Amino acid sequence: MTIDEEIQGHFRNAFHRGLINLVYTSRSLNYSFLQCLKEHGLTEPQYNVLRILRGFRKEAPLSIGFIKERMLDKDSDVSRLVDRLFEKGYVSRVENPTDRRQKAVAITEAGLQLLSEMLGCERRIDSMLSNLSLEEVTELNRLLDKIRG
């Protein structure tokens, strides 16, 4: 279904249509993903922190600054996110004895287990692009990178 049929709207030009189409599609995909996260008691930024910690586990423990640089949402309060994940037992954190503002953070076995349980979630999200070929997904990624230019 085209964006015109989805929202029954009118667009100033092809650029406006493209932007609205991108936003609408992104929100549609994101909504499904958020529902999946909610089933596991996580927010999107918390999930992002856990994925970063898992991905850089060999370099652990990581600093708050290191995590923040890799967040999808650069405005996230990473310290607060880490605190919440710590309360849930998904991360460990150790304050630097010489500078209490600095914390060393690592994912725990419970955090790894949660991400493992969420594999079905991730596959469901991946399948949302399954109507595209590998070449089309590659081209989509190229175009999105070009937009951010």
Contact (Cβ atoms closer than 8 angstroms) between residue 47 and residue 39: no
H-run or E-run covering 99: none
62 phi, psi to nearest 5 deg: -110, 155
Residue 4: pLDDT band (50, 70, 90) is: confident
Strands 91-95, 62-63: parallel, antiparallel or unpaired by DSSP?
Answer: unpaired
Quick check: 32 pLDDT over 90? Answer: no
Burial of 60 (0-12, 13-18, 19+ CB in 10 A): middle
pLDDT average, residue stretch 39-51: 95
Q: Which amino acid is at 94?
A: V
Contact (Cβ atoms closer than 8 angstroms) between residue 111 and residue 52: no
> Which residues constitute the domain of residue 74?
43-117
CA–CA dist 108, 49 (Å, integer): 12
Is 73 found in the same domain as 59? yes
CATH value at residue 53: 1.10.10.10
Is 106 found in the same domain as 74? yes
The pLDDT tens digits of the residues spanning 107-137 come to: 999 999 999 999 988 888 888 888 899 999 9
Is residue 5 situated within a structural domain?
no
Residue 103: pLDDT band (50, 70, 90) is: confident
Contact (Cβ atoms closer than 8 angstroms) between residue 33 and residue 72: no
Torsion (CA) 88, 109, 128, 146 in degrees, nearest 10: 90
pLDDT computed for residue 58 by the predictor: 93
The pLDDT tens digits of the residues spanning 46-91 come to: 999 999 999 999 998 999 999 999 998 888 899 999 999 999 999 9
Quick check: 96 pLDDT over 80? Answer: no
Q: Which position has the token pair 């969420």?
A: 118
Is 128 found in the same domain as 109? no
Helices (H), the chain: 3-7, 14-39, 44-55, 64-70, 78-87, 109-117, 119-126, 134-148
Is 28 found in the same domain as 54? no
